Structure 1
Amino acid sequence: MLNNLLEKLMRKTGILKNLIFRRKINIKGKKINIPVILELSCQLSETWMIELLEKILPEKEGVFLDIGVNLGQTLIKVKSIEPTRKYIGFEPNSVCVFYVKHLIKNNQFENCTLLPVGLFTEDSILSLESINDSEVDAAASIIKNFRPNQIIRHQTFVPVFCFENIANILDIDKIGIVKIDVEGAELEVIKSLQVVIHHDRPIFILEVLPVYSNENKARKERQEELERIFNLASYSFFRVSKTREGNFINCKPIDSIGIHSDLNQCDYLVVPSEFTGKMQGVLQEAVAERLLATL
């Protein structure tokens, strides 16, 4: 706590811009070294994912694919729960890649591969548009005009590849779990991974930002196409339920994502149909364990 207060004070006074140091956090009893480099620092966000990963990682062997690494928020969770799990991350923002390399080195994480590219339906150079002044804006998107009512503060040109065109350079036997957080580019990522979907049948942890209203036709059509791809591949959707503080409650099966405006309801577990029954059992056990812990 003292380290966090000190970091906030130095950030406010501007001292942090000229410092490089480390702080420690604890995830499930494992200490993680968090480098702080010129105001870059991985924060422990989306705590709901810790309990979810704790339940699904033992149930699904294979590579953990992290699409949209940002500052390594998912990486530190995976490595806290299963340190030896093979991890491959895709991140087109070179500043984020620079930081995450230090994060991996500072913790001596094993079996980590970091690719400085995004996933897309073609090999190209795209504009990564940021809506704030941060060089590591987690809301930056490669989908042009994804937030039409927001002012673009700056843009960076980044490389993107179709997964099939770079898969041969990766040492992958089988992909077990895929996390996707790409601010609107989920459809392109899923299209890029269609061979993986049909061959490896991985579990997906997926963020799909709200459509908000029927008037938002572009988002609505993209969301419906995303659901159609998964439905044709015999996958089932579960919506992640969280507390107001962001802690995990449960995953509830849904027929469709639908139209809503709740940013607390935009995380999903997408599971192959042959694994749905087992996954429901695992999730019910998690709820029962939490109830027993409160007695």
Structure 2
Amino acid sequence: MQGSTLELVMMAATLAGAGLASGVLSGLFGVGGGAILVPILSAAFAVLGTDPAHVAHLAVGTSLGIIVPTTIQSYKAHRSRGMGNAALLKRWRLFVPAGVIVASFIVGFVSGDVLRSVFVVVAVVIAAKMLFLPKGWYLAKDLPSKPVTDGVGFGIGFISTFMGIGGGNLNNLFMTLFGQPMHQAVATSAGLGPLVAIPGVIGYMISGWGADGVPPLSIGHVNLAALALVAPFAMLAAPIGATLAHKLSARKLEIAFALFLVSVAVRMSMDIFA
């Protein structure tokens, strides 16, 4: 293990802060917080002397583990305010995990730069929609028919597994494109998190099983020590984010979400071209 005692202490404090930030984001935007967690976890694992070939995969896999309790806490907070499309989540309970499972068999053969590139492209597309399309613009007033919606659920699960997120970014785009209010989309996205993260965690554990050069207390590409440190802080902050979301207008929530995605895309791009 590499890194001085001071570096390790600073890393632990940074991870705790990342947990708080990801929890607020989970409640505010319905995302799992992976956009914050993945780059910080990547830096932390590098400090620990992790084999560079496993850094991105460990960051994504561990992020998915943290997303499970965080998004559950966030969804509860939104449901207490009467928000969230429970019928859509029920319909996706098989299709989203199916997309995750398929992606999990592929992700072990994909480089870290590819994972980051997928993240950047999707984030930029979503941000562009939120910032530049006319206010109130949408493809239709209602969600599409069952076959199309089921396919979207599979796609959300598939892409989210590569990005290390809970699917909220993608679902917010989908629901708002089909005339659903931003607050409703955010609440539904929070409930989507466990459907992506639970099978995703299992997949990353399997894909990295027996890997050399990973930190102690890792099961495959999921590090239990980082998960145990970050998750409690994220769960604590999630209801705070939910409260903030319901204090913002729909348009302000969209703009804030888009700017957040742009900042993350820029940060990820720096890692790719470093």
TM-score with structure 1 setting the length: 0.27
Determine which structure has greater relative contact order: mean sequence separation of CA pairs < 8 Å that are 6+ residues apart, divided by chain length.
2
Which structure is larger by alpha-carbon Rg, 1 or 2? 1
Structure with bigger helix share is 2
Structure with bigger strand share is 1
